[in-house]
A and B are shown apart, each in its own frame.
Chain A
């Protein structure tokens, strides 16, 4: 492992800016305006990207099995067997992650300049966003579990802060809290997994560590793997880790927070809730792949959960009206694909899809952000439409990204998704047949293609249906949403662009810094796939080769079904057909809103179809089920505990208080009647005596003279008697 003294700069640069604007942001913003906020806040992440890219190049020049850059900043915790350093590791895997995170992150920083323009908390936004960059880069560059956990929690915190960014809106604040609480359930699994791993290794192997490489060496030591499997340690640890991953990466059963997370500013949705943070779970599974490789059970769970999530979320996405909700469910679904990949042991494919997804999903989200900004914060696709002519850049980049996510040949998503489906089909490691998972994935891919083009045609084709004149109220909750958007007021939403009134002007293209970012991301969305060409084409697969040093050892133990090239060609053809089918179906149904079938189906269709639509539209009532199953239970438990607190605990406390008061009373009485009595007695004595003596003081000189005479007489008598 080569030492590389600049790794710490990668997370440090955004942290500097985050800390500075966290402390002085308001003053800087008020005094010097927005430019003073966004210039440093945007440039420092670019610095991170530069350092990461240099690191990547340096890494590429190294050879050998364990090519990695390493930097230990300082010793953090050294207690007995627990040896943890604040150390950064850049191996091929984390290099890819760092470069993608810093590149997409920096681009989205640039985009945010336009999107957040005029927001009164501009400085706060950039401070949070920089803090997120720091946490995410710590997460991917940490060289041990504990330091990674710091980043893991940091991104969760930033996610919470940014979802609830417009916290004056109750709904948005609640969405932030939901994300935080649901993530906490996952974090619990991660933490317990860490402890089990740490103590389990100490018990079984006799030595332990939290450092990725050292753990890998311990596990891979001759004969160790069997002993670990015998006690079931890999399965337990991996399932716990995967619980953490389901929280962070929004998989069943913990995916519910991600759709609500769309309450945050759209660039945040793009960066955190699509491109980077939610992929942390995939990264983590890839990071500990050597443990997963030992447990077919855990791998099966990962792959099945991934496949089910992919299908489940994709079907919900079919009927959503909110453009961001469509993208949110699409993200959940795509993350499912990634877990499918890492579940079947095709870790490099999972990371590959993570990278391509980061580009096209960020582009889609930023495109929707551009639409939302142009249409005065309208997110309901029923009131968009016709934007293709008005916002050509946005429309073009959105369409290209749709092609990418749907998996059209030669677009990036094609290479990664097709590889996932093929690897799943071909896998024989799992406890369930890979073909079954392939089937689920294929249906999900069909849904993906359909809903993405549906969103494209609803938004960009036909005529503009927005504006104040056309609020005929297409649905009850749509009207509610509109009212909520209006009620949120000027300080709750980033209504930029002075001079652009509500609803009366046509939408227009977003400012240049946003469209350029869209163009760059769309470019990557199209070409990023070429680094991972399929074997079938007999062209070099750069991506797999790049990650091979990380994954090679573990993937040798996995079994393939060994289908031939003919099957692979067939599957590839099916993938293409699926993508095209979704595309043409959506085009036929939704292009220019000329086709009456969707509406007629909903209005006059059979009760079954309408019922199905209602269930899917309402997200299978999962939120409601969770409400009944967990939230109500939790609040019930809470009120029970509150009762306990009110009556039992408070009763005890009150009893103690009463006893104290009782003794206090007694002491008070003693003080009042005994101690004070003595003092008063003394005082009263003086008072009485003084009263008596006062009578002597008559003020008459002559009576004093009588006194003098009497005294002298007395003295004379005494003298005579004595002498």
Chain B
């Protein structure tokens, strides 16, 4: 059995599903962030797979690198925000951060 792009896409879809599930179900902000990481990585897998199997150049793989970089930066900023939220309201539950609700 040769590995084709379909397998990658399946993996990627699974990752996306897990990520979404995590984002939608978990109450902790940290867990939600982790779900977002999964979704980002699902996209990265897609980029690399299409780059390898269909286009033939490395633009997609470069783009994935940028995505990883962005994910790291996003995680740093988001975690800093979570930390600040925790200091402010002693909780990281996303339902509690509702003081700006109109």
Complex contact B20–A699 (CB within 8 A):
no
CA distance A705 to B20 in the complex (A): 9
List of A residues within 8 angstroms of B102 by Cβ: 694, 697, 699
Asked whether, in the complex, the Cβ of A700 is within 8 Å of the Cβ of B95, the reply is yes
Once the chains bind, are B23 and A699 in contact (CB under 8 Å)? Answer: no
Q: Could you tell me if A705 and B24 are in contact, using CB atoms closer than 8 angstroms?
A: yes
- The answer, among A694, A697, A698, A702, for a CB contact under 8 Å with B23, is A702
Separation in Å of the B76 CB from the closest CB of chain A?
Answer: 20
Q: Does A706 sit within 8 A of B, measured CB to CB?
A: yes
Write out, one digit per residue, whether chain A residues 700-715 have a CB within 8 A of any chain B CB (1) or not (0): 1110011001000000
Contact A705 B95 (CB under 8 A): no
**Cβ-defined partner of B24 (8 Å) among A697, A698, A702:** A702
| Distance between B77 CB and nearest chain A CB, rounded to angstroms | 16
Cβ of A697: which chain B residues have Cβ within 8 Å of it? 101-102
CB contacts (< 8 Å) of A698 on chain B: these are 101
CB distance from B30 to the nearest CB of A (A): 14
Q: In the bound complex, do residue A706 and residue B24 qualify as a contact, i.e. CB atoms below 8 Å apart?
A: yes
**Tally of B interface residues using CB under 8 Å:** 10
Residues of B within 8 A of A702 (CB): 23-24, 32, 94
Instruction: Return chain A residues, CB-CB under 8 Å to B100.
Output: 699
Kindly list chain B residues whose C-beta atoms are within 8 Å of the C-beta of A694: 102
B20–A709 touching, CB < 8 Å? yes
Contact pattern, B 65-102, Cβ under 8 Å of A = 1, otherwise 0: 00000000000000000000000000000110010111
Q: Which one of A694, A697, A701, A709 has the greatest number of beta carbons of chain B within 10 Å? A: A701
Nearest-Cβ distance from residue B74 to partner chain A, whole angstroms: 15
Q: Does A700 contact B24, Cβ atoms closer than 8 Å?
A: no
> Which residues of B are found within 8 Å of A709, using beta-carbon distances?
20, 24
Asked whether, in the complex, the Cβ of B94 is within 8 Å of the Cβ of A700, the reply is: yes
Closest to A702 in B: B24
CA distance A697 to B102 in the complex (A): 8
Task: Give complex CA distance A698, B94 in Å.
Answer: 12
How many Å from the CB of B20 to the closest CB on chain A? Answer: 7
**Secondary structure dominating the interface of B:** loop
A701 and B32 form a contact (CB under 8 A): yes
Number of A positions contacting B (CB below 8 A): 10
Q: Are A699 and B98 in contact (CB under 8 A)?
A: yes
CA distance A709 to B21 in the complex (A): 11
Contact residues in A for B95 (Cβ distance below 8 Å): 700
Pick from A694, A702, A706, A709 the residue with the most CB of B within 10 Å.
Answer: A702
Q: Given A700-B94, A700-B95 in contact, is the A705-B101 Cβ separation under 8 Å?
A: no
In the bound complex, CA of A13 to CA of B32 (Å): 105
Taking a contact as CB atoms under 8 Å apart, the answer to whether B101 and A699 are in contact is: yes
| Bound-state Cα–Cα, A702 to B23, Å | 7
Distance in angstroms between the alpha carbons of A567 and B102 in the assembled complex: 126
Residues 78 to 103 of chain A near chain B (Cβ within 8 Å): none
Q: Which residues of B contact A700 (CB under 8 A)?
A: 94-95, 98
Q: Name which residue of chain B comes closest to A701, CB basis.
A: B94
Q: Chain B contacts of A701 at CB under 8 A? A: 32, 94
CA of A705 to CA of B23 in the docked complex: distance in angstroms?
Answer: 8
**Max chain B C-beta neighbours (<10 A), residue from A694, A705, A709:** A705
B27 nearest CB across to chain A (Å): 9
In the complex formed, the residue of A with least CB distance to B27 is A702
> What B residues does A705 contact at CB under 8 A?
20, 23-24
In the bound complex, how far is the Cα of B96 from the Cα of A700, in angstroms? 9
Tell me the smallest distance from the CB of A696 to a CB of chain B, in Å.
11
* A699 vs B100: C-alpha distance when bound (angstroms): 8
Residues of chain B with a CB closer than 8 A to A706's CB: 24
Q: Which residues of A contact B98 (CB under 8 A)?
A: 699-700
Q: Kindly list chain A residues whose C-beta atoms are within 8 Å of the C-beta of B23.
A: 702, 705
What is the bound-complex CA distance between A198 and B32, given in angstroms? 113
Which residues from chain A contact B24 at a C-beta distance below 8 Å? 702, 705-706, 709
Nearest-neighbour CB distance to chain B for A164, whole angstroms, equals 78
Assembly CA distance A699 to B98 (angstroms): 6
Q: With A and B bound together, what is the CA distance between A700 and B24 in angstroms?
A: 11
CA distance A706 to B94 in the complex (A): 15
Within A664-717, the residues touching B (CB, 8 Å) are: 694, 697-702, 705-706, 709
Question: In the complex the two chains form, what is the Cα distance from A694 to B102 in whole Å?
Answer: 9
CA separation between A701 and B102, bound complex, in Å?
A: 14
Cα-based distance from A700 to B102 in the complex (angstroms): 12
Tell me the minimal C-beta distance from A703 to chain B in angstroms: 9
Q: How far is the CB of B42 from chain A (nearest CB, A)?
A: 14
CB distance from A333 to the nearest CB of B (A): 102
* Closest CB in chain B relative to A192 CB, distance in Å: 87
B34 to nearest A CB, angstroms? 14
Give Cα A699–Cα B96 distance, bound, in whole angstroms.
Answer: 10
A701-B23 Cα distance, complex, nearest whole Å:
9
Taking CB atoms, residues of chain A closer than 8 Å to B32 are 701-702
Q: How far is the CA of A246 from the CA of B16 in the complex (A)?
A: 123
| Nearest CB in chain B to that of A700: its residue | B95
Cα-based distance from A701 to B32 in the complex (angstroms): 10
Minimum CB–CB distance from B28 to chain A (whole Å) comes to: 12
A700 to B23, CA, bound (A): 12
Q: Report Cα–Cα, A384/B66, bound state, in Å.
A: 127
Complex Cα distance A705/B98, Å?
16
- A709: nearest chain-B partner, CB-CB: B20
Shortest distance in angstroms between A715's beta carbon and chain B's nearest beta carbon? 15
Within 8 A of A (CB), among B18-37: 20, 23-24, 32
A706 to B20 CA separation, bound complex (whole angstroms):
9
Cα(A705)–Cα(B94), bound, Å: 13
A699 partner residues in chain B, CB cutoff 8 A = 98, 100-102
Closest-by-CB residue of A relative to B20 is: A709
How many whole Å from A34's CB to the nearest CB in chain B? Answer: 82
- Please give the distance in Å from A520's CB to the nearest CB on chain B: 102
Give Cα distance in the complex from A701 to B82, angstroms: 14
What's the nearest-Cβ distance from chain A to residue B22, in Å?
Answer: 11
A698 to B102, CA, bound (A): 9
CA distance A698 to B23 in the complex (A): 17
Tell me the smallest distance from the CB of A689 to a CB of chain B, in Å: 16
CB distance from A700 to the nearest CB of B (A): 6
CA distance A702 to B36 in the complex (A): 12
B54 smallest CB distance to A (angstroms): 18
Closest beta carbon of chain A to B40's beta carbon, Å:
14
A-B contact pairs, 18 of them (CB 8 A): A694-B102, A697-B102, A698-B101, A699-B98, A699-B100, A699-B101, A699-B102, A700-B95, A700-B98, A701-B32, A702-B24, A702-B32, A702-B94, A705-B23, A705-B24, A706-B24, A709-B20, A709-B24
- Give me 16 other A-B pairs in contact (C-beta within 8 A), A698-B101, A706-B24, A709-B20 excluded: A694-B102, A697-B101, A697-B102, A699-B98, A699-B101, A700-B94, A701-B32, A701-B94, A702-B23, A702-B24, A702-B32, A702-B94, A705-B20, A705-B23, A705-B24, A709-B24
The 3 closest A-B pairs by CB, nearest first: A699-B101, A699-B98, A702-B24
